[in-house]
Amino acid sequence: MSDKVLLDYGSGGRASQRLVSELFLAAFDNEELSRLNDAAVLDLSGPVAVSTDSFTVDPIFFPGGDIGSLAVHGTVNDVAMLGATPRYLTCGFIIEEGLPMEDLRRIVASMAKAAREAGVLVVTGDTKVVPKGACDRIFINTTGIGEIIVQPTPSAERAAPGDAVLVSGNMGDHGLAILSKRQGLSFEAPVESDSAALNHLIVSLVQSLPQVHVLRDPTRGGLATTLNEIAASSGTGILVRESVLPITDAVRSGCSFLGLDPLYLANEGKFICILPQELAEKALRIMRADPLGRDACQIGVVTEENPKKVILETPIGGKRLLGMLEGEQLPRIC
Amino acid sequence: MSDKVLLDYGSGGRASQRLVSELFLAAFDNEELSRLNDAAVLDLSGPVAVSTDSFTVDPIFFPGGDIGSLAVHGTVNDVAMLGATPRYLTCGFIIEEGLPMEDLRRIVASMAKAAREAGVLVVTGDTKVVPKGACDRIFINTTGIGEIIVQPTPSAERAAPGDAVLVSGNMGDHGLAILSKRQGLSFEAPVESDSAALNHLIVSLVQSLPQVHVLRDPTRGGLATTLNEIAASSGTGILVRESVLPITDAVRSGCSFLGLDPLYLANEGKFICILPQELAEKALRIMRADPLGRDACQIGVVTEENPKKVILETPIGGKRLLGMLEGEQLPRIC
């Protein structure tokens, strides 16, 4: 193959086939994909969870990951948030003519590793190559399919007054990692993306605690926006205690330097868990037993007052409204 | 909403929500989508067919369709080719900042209409807006999920010597329609894309004739490339009679003017059906009873000789090898 991605590789013809067999089949090695039909046959039973996401992150390689691993983690996590075991991924590449083949190889290898670790198979895919200038290097769409293992499924509208609001770890790492790489900034303490597949942790959690009300990953728009969505869906209020929010010093100081609020920065390996207060301790124990949840903590409670609003209680006891992200803080974060 | 797509609409925040509720929810109106969870819960049983495709077609509006209807038809057809009833679609938009909102509305309306006609629900989606120049107007990924209604499923490797090779209609319309629009050419007889959802026709066909061996839609790379894939998968030869190939005079003359071969041009509303010769007449009757298959005909046979090759028999009885598309004849055709 050429050392650059050529338009020919997206033709559907012989050159496409070479790309598919030498790169994708080799990396995502599994029987269903190797049939090379236009669609895959999956053996799934019971209710099924499906999620789709397109990844346009810039830069495509960043501290803690790349567009390939992110495309697996992001979709695996969205499926898991429904209390489901992700099992299959589809993968659609849109590649700019001229992308170094080495970059594509690295991205695909990273996807394959992430998929293996998450325990999902890439069963069907599609590659389009567009002329130079028609897209910026590479975009990846992944659609994830999983088997729902708990019903009723965790869902934003199930947040109920009295529930505890937990997060699985530190907030803002992904957003700050992307932004500092993009701006060419380096901080004293380097910040890495938290991009990770949460499904194994989520499965242990919901298997032990099927009573979980809400699971959501605070990606675009960050914790503040996701909590607002939950408050809006459930008609409850959410009170968050600023003093206990887990944010590393590195992220705090990086955000302060850049004038950003870590509560609005994307996370790609964290989740919010809302469940009855009496189950919070047990949930935290399960979360902390997994390296991906070692900094888990309770950050607040669901309230009857202030319906559809998120209130931040400051360390000195003041309260302020934590609004939803209005516009775009950071395009191409994922 | 603004009359242009702004970066804000892809933020995950309030502006995104407005776009989703005012445009997407209104157009794709269904209960599962309206839950706005990151993933959808689907009630599916038995073996499931899944296919994904990214659409980057240029121009985005063309005679006979647009990128929206094409994104529905293309994926619905890929699922149907597995002998499955497509039921759900996911939809991922990547939109360039500044796209006229009117264009997006028109595309979404066209997707919604195509999905309604095909009988599929758009159950979950994702929207990314990238800065000006990072993509060319709009790309759409759709992933389709369907229930398999016949087993073993039709599959390229099942083509067997003695089988009849049928096509559901005229070849080359989509490719020529796109190219002439892109080049600003107008022919005496205008050529429209054949973009259409074939699932209803496919379902009638496989319900009456579950013995069908192969169903494939000859999209990128055209009839010649798809037949080559079938020959390669099954290890058989395929003999095609040039004199009976259904190609309209308009496509013939347009191709001749542009130096293109219609057998390598994409189709988006046609399929190849390979099945035992004795069932060919019945299959053609079923196909012709549907407006999408009214020009269906037998174009050749599967042979033991010339394994993995496609041979074209010319009108005067000569034979020539019909190779697979080598490079890219026409980028961004779908």
CB pairs under 8 A between A and B: 281
- Determine the length of chain A: 334
Q: Which comes out higher in pLDDT, residue A173 or B327?
A: A173
Q: Which amino acid is at B182?
A: R
Q: Which comes out higher in pLDDT, residue B200 or A31?
A: B200
CB contact under 8 Å between A8 and B50, yes or no, is no
Q: Is A244 on the interface with B (CB under 8 A)?
A: no
Could you tell me if A120 and A54 are in contact, meaning their C-beta atoms sit under 8 angstroms apart?
no
Output the pLDDT for position B14: 84
Output the pLDDT for position A319: 96
Report the residue from A126, A129, A329 with minimal CB separation from B11: A329
Mutation target to probe the B interface, by most B beta carbons within 10 A, among A32, A141, A202 is A141
In the predicted model, is pLDDT for residue A316 greater than 80?
Answer: yes
Instruction: Give A-chain residues touching B148 at CB under 8 angstroms.
Output: 41
Q: DSSP secondary-structure letter at A22?
A: I
CB contact under 8 Å between B225 and A13, yes or no, is yes
Distance from CA of A153 to the nearest CA of B (A): 9
Distance from CA of B227 to the nearest CA of A (A): 11
Distance from CA of A225 to the nearest CA of B (A): 6
Output the pLDDT for position B329: 65
Report the residue from B51, B58, B94 with minimal CB separation from A38: B51
Closest chain A residue to B97, measured at CA: A331
Q: Is B85 on the interface with A (CB under 8 A)?
A: no
Phi, psi at residue A295, to the nearest 5°? -100, 20
Instruction: Give B-chain residues touching A10 at CB under 8 angstroms.
Output: 328, 331
Output the pLDDT for position A329: 65
Helices (H), chain B: 14-19, 26-28, 31-34, 67-80, 101-118, 173-183, 199-208, 222-234, 249-258, 280-288
Residue with tokens 């950071």: A330
Q: Is B125 on the interface with A (CB under 8 A)?
A: yes
Q: Is A322 on the interface with B (CB under 8 A)?
A: no
Average pLDDT of A25-38?
Answer: 86
Report the residue from B39, B46, B82 with minimal CB separation from A39: B82
In the predicted model, is pLDDT for residue A231 greater than 90?
Answer: yes
Report the residue from A92, A144, A325 with minimal CB separation from B53: A92
Which of A42-56, A226-240, A278-292 has the weakest average pLDDT? A42-56
Fold of A156-321: Phosphoribosyl-aminoimidazole Synthetase; Chain A, domain 2 (3.90.650)
Query: In chain A, which segments carry CATH 3.30.1330.10?
Result: 7-148
Q: Is A147 on the interface with B (CB under 8 A)?
A: no
* Average pLDDT of the residues of chain A: 94
Q: Is B199 on the interface with A (CB under 8 A)?
A: no
Q: Is A268 on the interface with B (CB under 8 A)?
A: no
pLDDT, averaged per 10 consecutive residues of chain B (334 residues), comes to 90 85 91 83 86 96 97 98 95 97 97 97 94 97 96 95 98 95 81 97 98 96 95 97 96 92 96 98 98 98 98 95 81 88
Q: Which comes out higher in pLDDT, residue A168 or B44?
A: A168
Complete DSSP assignment for B208-225: H-TT--EEE---TTHHHH
Distance from CA of A37 to the nearest CA of B (A): 7
CB contact under 8 Å between B92 and A141, yes or no, is yes
Instruction: Give B-chain residues touching A41 at CB under 8 angstroms.
Output: 47-49, 82, 148, 153
CB contact under 8 Å between A41 and B56, yes or no, is no
Report the residue from B52, B145, B324 with minimal CB separation from A125: B52
Instruction: Give A-chain residues touching B135 at CB under 8 angstroms.
Output: 56, 134-136, 139
Assigned token pair, A118? 């998450």
Could you tell me if B174 and B66 are in contact, meaning their C-beta atoms sit under 8 angstroms apart?
no
Fold of B7-148: 60s Ribosomal Protein L30; Chain: A; (3.30.1330)
Q: pLDDT-derived band of residue A71, with 50, 70 and 90 as boundaries? A: very high
In the predicted model, is pLDDT for residue A327 greater than 90?
Answer: no
Residue with tokens 């008609």: A235
In the predicted model, is pLDDT for residue A25 greater than 80?
Answer: yes
Complete DSSP assignment for B86-155: EEEEEEEEEEETT-BHHHHHHHHHHHHHHHHHHT-EEEEEEEEEE-TTSBSSEEEEEEEEEEE-SSSPP-
How buried is residue A151: exposed, middle or buried, by Cβ count under 10 Å (0-12/13-18/19+)? exposed
Query: In chain A, which segments carry CATH 3.90.650.10?
Result: 156-321
Instruction: Give A-chain residues touching B11 at CB under 8 angstroms.
Output: 220-221, 325, 327-329, 331
Report the residue from A8, A324, A328 with minimal CB separation from B10: A328
Output the pLDDT for position B25: 92
Distance from CA of B125 to the nearest CA of A (A): 6
Report the residue from A6, A11, A53 with minimal CB separation from B325: A11
